C-alpha cells in the first residue's frame, strides 16, 4: 500500500504493511520516516543544510545513499530535485540524475515484506561519466537519540596458533577514547546515543554482517553482506557509527573499487524490526545489560 504525505516541506511516498510504515522522499533517493507498530519515527529529523559549490545539501535525517571515501564537496552533492519514481513489486524505485561532479547516478530500491517487519533496501551507484571513479557504496541511517548501538565483534582465532589479529578498530581524530558513551567488550561494542557530548566516530570490519539499535523497546537491525576478502575504505571498514549532539548514524559500506563508465555497483541492506531483545543473535548477558 502506498500513500502520499510531506516531510519538512518535501513531498513523500509511503509504504505500509501491518507492522511498518516507511516514507520516502518523492524528490530524492531518501527514506525519511520509519514507524514500527505505531511507534514514533525511529529516524532523526534534521532540518539543516550545508552549502557547497554544487548547491545546498540537506541532511534531513533518515536514510541516504552516499559514496565513500568521504570528501568535501564531492560527498555532499545535492540529491534533492528532479528524480524518477517507479513503482516496483512491493515498493518503490527512486533514481537521481547524474551528479554534477563525476557523473554518478544514485538509485534506491525499497521493498516492504507484506508479512513481517522486514524491508529490503538496494543501493546502486552507476557511473554515467567519462572516467573511472574509485568509490564504495555507503548506506547511512540517521536515528534519533537515547538508544543504544550494538556492534557485534569478531571472536576466535584467525590462525590455528592464535598468533594473528582477529579484529581492528578505526578511530576518527575527534573521537575520545574515554568517551563515557562507548563500552568495549570482547563480544560486543555498545554506544549509548545520548546528547550533550562531542562527536564520536569509529569503524571496523564486521564479519557478522549485522548491526543494531535498541530504542524505546524497538530493536532495529541492519543486515548486509560482509565480503570478507574485499577491500574497504577508511582502513578496511565495512561498518561505521557516528554520534553527535543531535543524532546517531549506523553506516554500512560495500567493497571499494574502480567504478568504470557505464557500470554499476550495488549494496543491499535488509532491515528487521523487533519488539524485544529476546533474539537468538542477542546473548542473555548483553540483553540484561541493555535492559537495565
How do the pLDDT tens digits run along the chain, 292 residues long?
455 689 999 999 999 999 999 999 999 999 999 999 989 999 999 998 899 999 999 999 999 999 999 999 889 999 999 999 999 999 999 999 999 878 999 999 999 999 999 999 999 999 999 999 999 999 999 999 999 999 999 999 989 999 999 999 999 999 999 999 999 999 999 999 999 999 999 999 999 999 999 999 999 999 999 999 999 999 999 999 999 999 999 999 999 999 999 999 999 999 999 999 999 999 999 999 998 7
Question: Structural domain tally of the chain?
Answer: 1
The grid cell for 110 is 525499497
Beta strands in 8-54 (DSSP E): 10-16, 20-25, 30-36, 45-52
Residue 240 CA to residue 238 CA, distance in Å, equals 7
Cα torsion 224, 230, 231, 235: sign: positive
Residue 23 CA to residue 51 CA, distance in Å, equals 26
pLDDT at 100: 85
Whichever domain contains 255, its CATH number is 2.70.98.10
Residue 125 CA to residue 105 CA, distance in Å, equals 6
Task: Name the β-bridge partners of 189.
Answer: 151, 184
pLDDT at 73: 87
User: Which uninterrupted H or E stretch holds 285?
Assistant: helix 284-290
Residue 167 CA to residue 164 CA, distance in Å, equals 9
* Helix, strand or coil, per DSSP, at residue 248: strand
Domain that holds residue 152: 2-156+163-290
pLDDT at 285: 94
Torsional class of 62: left (φ above 0), alpha (ψ -120 to 50), beta (otherwise): left
Q: Do residues 75 and 67 make contact, with C-beta atoms less than 8 angstroms apart?
A: yes
pLDDT at 102: 82
pLDDT at 101: 78
State the pTM of this model: 0.95
Amino acid at each position: 500500500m502506498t500513500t502520499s504525505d510531506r516531510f519538512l516541506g518535501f513531498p513523500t511516498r509511503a509504504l505500509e504493511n501491518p507492522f511498518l510504515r516507511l516514507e520516502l522522499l518523492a524528490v530524492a533517493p531518501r527514506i525519511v520516516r520509519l514507524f514500527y507498530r505505531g511507534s514514533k519515527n525511529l529516524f532523526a529529523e534534521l532540518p539543516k543544510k550545508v552549502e557547497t559549490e554544487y548547491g545546498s545539501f540537506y541532511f534531513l535525517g533518515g536514510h541516504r545513499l552516499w559514496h565513500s571515501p568521504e570528501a568535501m564537496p564531492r560527498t555532499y552533492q545535492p540529491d534533492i530535485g528532479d528524480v524518477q519514481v517507479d513503482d516496483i513489486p512491493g515498493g518503490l524505485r527512486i533514481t537521481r540524475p547524474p551528479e554534477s561532479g563525476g557523473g554518478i547516478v544514485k538509485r534506491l530500491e525499497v521493498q516492504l515484506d507484506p508479512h513481517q517487519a522486514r524491508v529490503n533496501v538496494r543501493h546502486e551507484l552507476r557511473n554515467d561519466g567519462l572516467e573511472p571513479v574509485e568509490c564504495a557504496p555507503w548506506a547511512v541511517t540517521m536515528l534519533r537519540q537515547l538508544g543504544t548501538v550494538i556492534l557485534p565483534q569478531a571472536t576466535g582465532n584467525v590462525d590455528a596458533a592464535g598468533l594473528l589479529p582477529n579484529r581492528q578498530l578505526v578511530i576518527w581524530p575527534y573521537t575520545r577514547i574515554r568517551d563515557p558513551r562507548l563500552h568495549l567488550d570482547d563480544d560486543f561494542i555498545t554506544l549509548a546515543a545520548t546528547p550533550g557530548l562531542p562527536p564520536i566516530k569509529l569503524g571496523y570490519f564486521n564479519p557478522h554482517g549485522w548491526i543494531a539499535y535498541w530504542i524505546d523497546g524497538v530493536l532495529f537491525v541492519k543486515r548486509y553482506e560482509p565480503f570478507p576478502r574485499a577491500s574497504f575504505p577508511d582502513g578496511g571498514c565495512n561498518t561505521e557509527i557516528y554520534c553527535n549532539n543531535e543524532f546517531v548514524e549506523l553506516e554500512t559500506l560495500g567493497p571499494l573499487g574502480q567504478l568504470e563508465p557505464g557500470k554499476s555497483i550495488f549494496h543491499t541492506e535488509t532491515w528487521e524490526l523487533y519488539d524485544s531483545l529476546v533474539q537468538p543473535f542477542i546473548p542473555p548477558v548483553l540483553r540484561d545489560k541493555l535492559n537495565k
